[in-house]
Amino acid sequence: MKTIKFKFPSIRKVKLPTIHLAKPNWVKSLFRTKIFDLLRRPVAGERRAVGLDIGTRYIKMVQLKKRIGGYTLEKYGLVELLPEIIVDREFMDRGALIENIRKIVESSGIDERKVSAVICGKNVISKKLLIKVPKKKKEYAGVIQSLAKENIPFDLKEVVIDTRKLKQEGENLELLLVGAKNEILYPLIDILKEVDLIPYTVDIMPFVLQSAYQKYIDKEGTYILINIGFEHILIVIIKDGYYFLDEEIPLGTRTFIEEIQRVCGVGADIAVKVLYGEKIKDVKEENVSKAIETTLKRIFSRLDRLLAEVHEYKTIVIGGGGAGISNIPEAFSKQFNTRCEVANPFTDIDCPKGMPAAPHLFDIAIGLAIDKLENTGVNLLPQEERVEERNKILQTLDQGLIFYSGVGSVVILGLVVYGLTCKQHRIEREIKDMTAQQEALTDKVKEVKELMDKEKDITIKVKVIQDLSKHKYERVKLLDEVNRLLPAYTWLVALNEKFADTVGIKILLRGITTSNFAVSDFMKNLETSAYFTDVQLIYTQRGEIGGTKTTDFEIQAQFKE
């Protein structure tokens, strides 16, 4: 089947449950204060983070640098994916996806290898819980473990779990329990490793959007954050500065495109252009507006049910690829009688080389980088895959050697004296440790070889599965296209596939209609379609059903793959 490429406007393994707890610690609290952050940053150096957003239509990647008072955009990249590489968030063509990620890394020049990614939708289990703060810190892990058993509908050995503290009032602590299955996480992790990237965090969409749109949110009031993706729309409600709830609906930019195709009778490429405001000859603007309005009504009906849980909200903030659709903010503002604006995640970010042409596409990537820099999200990366970070105090001392040169000189002198007196014992201990490590590594090398052999076997099996499923969408496209072209009051009684060859599929369509004109319209629709050639009328015959005169017909056509 011929692949349709949507052209958007040009823009320049069994594992133990992982639970992370925000335990009180006066050292960490000190580092989190703004004053100490300002004091240590000239010494500790600038920190960087990379956010990688793998979407259905685009891959977006940004590298941010944290500086005093904000962030700097160092590098960014965007690459468009062909259809069917990712379908409903499943990686259908792993090889093509890897090549596109490698392409965006090389073209953008991003040199930081540690990246933060995101998972969402049905792949994430989240539950907002209200608990009593345990009297003893050591009881906290047990409480979370118990809550996970009660609220995660899977064996805890099969999932990675994290928690995010939302707010605390007295002894009552509101937190979000989040979990994701290993079978969802590891394909993403393996793909990142395949392109020599180091998975650093795996975050979830609600917190990522909250970080990306933080400049639009006050500490008081309710705000609606909406990310319009290609296949899904995510709605996140923030109340008084805290996450309140989120919901995803299975509508998106694709829904607008398909409705325009249906109403205007145009191909996907033309539908995309007119959706984003481009005027095309022979495409009536009123038909485009009608298609967009019909799709918006479907979206609004779903939003009405969700927003019934909040009575007043200050602003609706829209991002994602769908934020560029013509008159979207005006339509939302009119429907919900409130201010609505398209998010620009680069507003408060220093962009020395300029910001991207369509900044709303980068909201998730920006949110991921900020979450990593500020440690404000969750991390569903399995424990054994995590990059070990040095203690922040030691890191500060190490990177700020010049600043601490006076103190360092005294420490070095003491270490030299101590080293001379203990050198022999230290060397003996090192020899003993190295011998033990060598023995342990021998077993590890054997395990690694076995894992590599298993990986080769799995790769072969995956290749077989991919080959088997390579053409499964062709017949679906054929049926969809015939259904779209069928005139009103015309019914098919049979669709027979005569044969298939390298050119396409020869099909025979038999049907019933109430008018010879409908047969003519159907043939004309088939002839003007990009997918059918050699359209021939085999016969027409008058008939009668229940007293109504009908016309039986048979049409032969060639469906191009």
pLDDT of residue 337: 87
Residue 240 lies in a domain: yes
Q: Count the Cβ atoms, other than its own, within 10 Å of residue 427.
A: 10
Mean per-residue pLDDT for 86-100? 89
Q: Do residue 299 and residue 335 come from a single domain?
A: yes
Cβ neighbour number for residue 278 with a 10 Å cutoff: 12
513 within some domain: yes
**Total domains present in the chain:** 3
Query: Residue 280, class by beta-carbon neighbours within 10 Å (0-12 exposed, 13-18 middle, 19+ buried)?
Result: middle
Distance between CA atoms of residues 504 and 526, nearest Å: 15
CA angle centred on 541, ends 535 and 544, rounded to 5°: 130
Residue of 168, 141, 171 lying closest to 156 (CA atoms): 141
CA 438 distance to own-chain centroid:
42
d(CA 137, CA 233): 39
Residues 490 and 419 in one domain: no
| SS3 category, 495 | strand
Residue at 10 is within a domain = no
Per the DSSP assignment, residues forming a β-bridge with 554 are: 510, 539
Both tokens of residue 69? 């008072």
Which of 307, 326, 342 terminates a domain? The answer is 342
Higher pLDDT, 316 or 9: 316
Mean pLDDT throughout 29-51?
55
Does residue 486 share a domain with residue 464?
no
Does the predicted TM-score (pTM) go above 0.85?
no
Residue 466 — pLDDT band, cuts 50, 70, 90?
Answer: low
Residues 438 and 513 in one domain: no
- Are residues 539 and 422 part of one domain? no
Q: Mean of the pLDDT values across residues 194-217?
A: 90
The verdict on 235 and 247 lying in the same domain is yes
Domain assignment of residue 225, yes or no: yes
> For 407-447, where are the E strands, in sequence order?
none
Task: Check: CB of residue 513 under 8 Å from CB of residue 519.
Answer: yes
Do residues 431 and 482 share a domain?
Answer: no
Three-class DSSP category at 56: coil
End-of-domain residue from the set 298, 327, 342:
342
Cα angle at 373 between 370 and 379, to 5 degrees?
Answer: 85
204 in a structural domain? no
Distance CA 362, CA 368 (A): 10
User: Residue 145 and residue 127: Cα distance in Å, rounded?
Assistant: 14
Residue 525 belongs to a domain:
yes
Q: Using an 8 Å Cβ cutoff, are 249 and 302 in contact?
A: yes
In this structure, the answer to whether residues 295 and 409 fall within a common structural domain is no
Spacing of C-alpha 365 from chain mean position: 9
Please determine, for residue 468, whether its predicted confidence score (pLDDT) is greater than 90. Answer: no
Site of tokens 């700020």: 400
The number of helices, as runs of H, and strands, as runs of E, in the chain is: 15, 20
Do 310 and 263 belong to one domain? yes
Q: What is the pLDDT of residues 307-347, one digit of tens each?
A: 777 767 888 999 988 888 878 889 888 888 888 989 899 98
Q: How confident is the model at residue 65 (pLDDT cuts 50, 70, 90)?
A: very high
DSSP string of 177-197?
EEEEEHHHHHHHHHHHHHTT-
The parent domain of residue 329 ranges over 215-342
Question: 544: Cβ–Cβ under 8 A, 6 or more apart, which residues?
Answer: 550
* Same domain as 235, residue 330: yes
Separation CA 165–CA 144 (nearest Å)? 12
pLDDT band, residue 11 (cuts 50/70/90)? very low
Mean pLDDT score, 249-264: 90
Most confident among 10-14, 73-77, 394-398, 461-465 (mean pLDDT):
73-77
Residue 379 lies in a domain: no
Task: Check which CATH number belongs to the domain holding 513 and give it.
Answer: 3.30.1360.100
pLDDT at 23: 40
Distance between alpha carbon 77 and the CA centroid of its chain, in Å? 16
For residue 397, pLDDT beyond 50: no
451 lies in the same domain as 553: no
Q: Which of the 8 DSSP states describes residue 475?
A: H
Q: Which among 289, 321, 342 is the end of a domain?
A: 342
Averaged pLDDT, 200-216: 90
Percent of the residues in the chain that have a pLDDT greater than 70, as a whole number: 86
> Parallel, antiparallel, or unpaired for β 222-228 and 125-132?
unpaired
Alpha-carbon distances, residue 389 vs 200, 299, 344, 386 (angstroms): 10, 44, 32, 9
- Name residue 350's amino acid: D
The greatest distance separating any two alpha carbons of the chain, rounded to the nearest whole angstrom, comes to 112
- Whether residues 547 and 484 fall in one domain: yes
| Structural domain contains residue 319 | yes
Q: Rounded to the nearest 5°, which phi and psi values hold at 64? A: -105, 150
SS3 of residue 458 by DSSP: helix
CATH code for position 272:
3.30.420.40
Residues 418 and 407: their CA atoms lie apart, in Å, by 17
